[in-house]
Amino acid sequence: MQSAARLFFTSTHYSVAGASSVPSKFGHRIFAWYLSQNLPAIPLNPTCSSITVRRNEFETVASPSLLKDPKNTSLSVVTPPSVTAKLLREAKSAGVKAVWLQPGSFGQEEMQYARKAFPGAAIGGFDDGTVGGEGWCVLVDGETYMSGNKDGKL
């Protein structure tokens, strides 16, 4: 997972599937985290045309296939497992570089598919180095691996 997390942050673009305008939702918090890290992030949400985060409005895309540069995009997934399964297939088909499955966004089947479809570029679960009690989460582990620190420690 550590090498996948480092690879995730070599992208030039990021997208958050399940991004939301609702501050209490993790899709909102995770999208806001990307903004706070000055990373170019695109909200992915098929149910609305835009979201508002930090009083700024961001146009959404409805599907990974609509990302401008999927081959250079890493995707954070904050959707229910039933949505995640379809989303991962779309992301693979679009050529998305790497995926980060946030806690609660997957079951065993979705994680197995992600690891197979994105070899060495799928993050999720509890394996290999997370410091989060709920598993690999960009809010907890992201900054460590974004910095390129080889040993995964601050």
What domains can be seen in the chain, in order of their start residue? 2-146 (3.40.50.720)
- Tell the residue number behind the tokens 């991962």, with chain if given: 88
Instruction: Kindly list the averaged pLDDT for each block of 10 residues, start to end, along the chain of length 154.
Output: 93 97 96 96 96 96 97 97 96 98 95 96 84 85 77 40
At 154 the pLDDT is 35
Question: 95 vs 3, 74, 132, 140, 144, CA distance in Å?
Answer: 19, 10, 29, 27, 26
Q: Is 66 in contact with 13 (CB distance < 8 Å)?
A: no
**The pairing of beta strand 56-59 with beta strand 50-53:** antiparallel
